[in-house]
Amino acid sequence: MKTYLFILILAVSHHALAKVDLRQVDAFIDQTAAELNLEPQWVRSIVSQAKHQQSIIDAMNRPAEKVLQWHDYRNIFLTDKRTLEGVDFWNKHEAVIDQVVEQSGVPAEVIVAIIGVETFYGRIKGNHKVLDALYTLAFDYPKRSKFFTKELKNFIQLAHEQHINPLEAKGSYAGAMGYGQFMPSSYRAYAVDYEADQVIDLINNPQDAIASVANYLNKHKWKSGGAVLRQVTKPSVEMKFNQLKPHQKDHKTQAEYTVLQLDMADGSQQYWQGFHNFYVISRYNHSHMYVMAVYQLAEAIKAARQEVSS
């Protein structure tokens, strides 16, 4: 019996290793060390401890944005609890948010709503090791291997620059980190040191996270005072709108010509026209259901806060 179990364990281990071509891993280590001017042995000491996780592949193949209808997706994020905790988060960080809004032009409710949708205001940041997630997706997810290989390289560089422990950092199954769930490349490109203390910490510091979410939207050309969405009647053919189902990802169409069709719980449909800032939020997450959830949560938080203060 013990011999059988030993053979079974070896078989399972071999199956897990077989999913990753170790020659590709070695080539990645050498290339990354050379490109980033890092000690090869240091890079290898990190990557060699990464573990392939089949659960990450499974999660990537069934994201909520692809398997849920709008009314189910909406019920996850548009709750009284998430709205009221959004008000609390806003009040707690009001001084920081006010300053960030003035500098970026991005409304407070949108900043708060993104953090609310992404991590429930920092409560749910993800339990996957970022290293495992990026390693698995870089070397065993062919359709997006190029993207995640780049993100793994950025993660190693980020660990070197910001002294993040690459073996301990946790995030989403896609390797996103912190309050705002930034991928490593976005972390390096858009993260802000709000307190000017020479440390950019999006994982534990909500002030850096607030400033970074706003900076991300600002750098993607947020229009201060501009609209995000408005509800419209069903578009006619003559209107020449590009009608999209919420699962679709449209990167080329001008936002002003996009109408989002949402399936409601009673079987009816709603139609919402997107504007430029709709497109900007979609740079954060390309799912149109995600943008709608952020928009509606932002409006709910803003209304609840005004009601409390009135």
List the catalytic residues.
118
Distance CA 14, CA 29 (A): 22
Q: How many CA atoms lie within 13 A of 65 on its CB side?
A: 17
Distance CA 268, CA 252 (A): 28
Strand spans (E) along the chain: 128-129, 170-171, 229-232, 242-244, 258-263, 269-274
State how beta strands 229-232 and 269-274 pair: antiparallel
Q: Which residues does 9 contact at the CB level (< 8 Å), separation at least 6?
A: none
Q: Which residues does 139 contact at the CB level (< 8 Å), separation at least 6?
A: 19, 20, 21, 24, 25, 28, 52, 145, 149
Distance CA 258, CA 173 (A): 30
